[in-house]
Amino acid sequence: MPFTPYHFGPAGFLGLVFKKRIDIPAFVLANVAVDIEPLALMIFRVSGNHHRFFHTLIGATLAGIALAIALFPPRKIIAELMNLLHLPYETTFLKITIWAVLGGWFHVFIDSICHWDVRPFWPSRIRPLYWLVNYDQLKYICLGFWLAAIILLLCAYIGEIIGKAKSLTEQGAVDK
């Protein structure tokens, strides 16, 4: 996928579906972290494949661990930002680490479908997912997940508003 925006759809959707179990920021940001490598290679005009070490399961694991180390200290700030999105957030270092690694793997999984130079099982050259679906199909699948994630976020927000309204109504009935 051309950089991370397409990855946000499936990652955000999974994060919202499993929001009580998943560390959404770690999972989603891991999808960004893996693409720092090709971005840097392009900026510095390095020739050859743009998907190298961090587009392997080993590299994505190390990127996920590094991301977890970076995300743990500001977890309270992240919790405040998540509350702005009406997504309660409690985490541990282990939870951040697991979901950052899984987020990196998820990114590699998506990229290994449409990029010939992604070798998820490096040092092996096997690429079992390459061209599982074509690029346009994968793009539309990812965009569909974007839409589904937005709908889930809106539903959660509307559900919270309705819950607060019911609570206020019930409280008003008790006060009378």
Q: What pLDDT is recorded for position 4?
A: 63
CB 143 within 8 A of CB 6: yes
pLDDT of residue 145 exceeding 80, the answer is yes
**Percent of the chain surpassing pLDDT 70:** 95
Separation between Cα atoms, residue 9 and residue 21, nearest integer Å: 18
The mean pLDDT value of the chain amounts to 89
CB 38 within 8 A of CB 51: yes
Q: What pLDDT is recorded for position 1?
A: 46
Q: State the residue for tokens 């282990």.
A: 94
Residue 131: pLDDT band with limits 50, 70, 90: confident
Tens of pLDDT, residues 85-130: 878 899 999 999 999 999 999 999 999 998 899 999 999 999 998 9
Q: Can you give the residue ranges of every domain in the chain?
A: 5-175
Tens of pLDDT, residues 79-95: 999 988 878 899 999 99
pTM of the model: 0.83
Query: Of the candidates 83, 141, 133, which has an alpha carbon nearest to the alpha carbon of residue 113?
Result: 133
Separation between Cα atoms, residue 90 and residue 25, nearest integer Å: 11
Tell me how far the alpha carbon of residue 33 is from its chain's centroid: 10
Listed in sequence order, the DSSP H helices in the chain are: 5-17, 24-33, 36-43, 57-71, 75-84, 93-114, 135-175
Separation between Cα atoms, residue 41 and residue 55, nearest integer Å: 13
Separation between Cα atoms, residue 105 and residue 88, nearest integer Å: 25
